[in-house]
A = this chain, B = another copy of it.
Amino acid sequence: MLENRHLRYFVEVAKCLHVTKAAERLHIAQPALTQNIHQLEEELGVELFHREGHRLTLTQAGQVFLNEAEASLLQFDHAQRAAQRAARGEVGKLALGFQSMAGLSVVPHTLQRFQSSYPDVQVVLHEMAPQC
């Protein structure tokens, strides 16, 4: 089964076109990396690299996959950070302006109900002067 690991490894190889150097950067041994790339190509059923001797180049499909794989890794990271932000209550930081007259009556009650429904939304209050 293909995992994110395969994408991480592929992106590194695709960028320096040199398995041994990529392996160093990834802190793994060269054969392990070679194996992962082969497995990736096998499961995709797609040749990602042209091997002309020791000269690696991306195939057309490899080029496409590089872009998509990077996007996938970014979305993966984004998912993690989003969850972490949400856990810190930054789901939606809501800035709320009010006039002092309204603030004394409407705001506290409404706010209380809102916060019981959305306990993780941080509400920031700003008292404001009337505009007209």
Binding site for B on A (CB under 8 A): 1-5, 7, 44-48, 59-65, 68-69, 71-72, 75-76, 78-80, 82-87, 91, 118-120
8 A-B contact pairs sorted by A residue (CB < 8 Å)? A3-B5, A44-B84, A46-B84, A60-B91, A61-B86, A63-B86, A64-B91, A69-B79
Q: How far is the CB of A77 from chain B (nearest CB, A)?
A: 9
Closest residue to A45 on the B side, CB-wise?
B84
- Taken together, the copies of this chain in the complex come to 2
Q: Taking each of A79, A80, A83, A91, which has the highest tally of chain B beta carbons within 10 Å of its own beta carbon?
A: A83
Q: How far is the CB of A32 from chain B (nearest CB, A)?
A: 14
Are the C-beta atoms of A80 and B1 separated by less than 8 Å? no
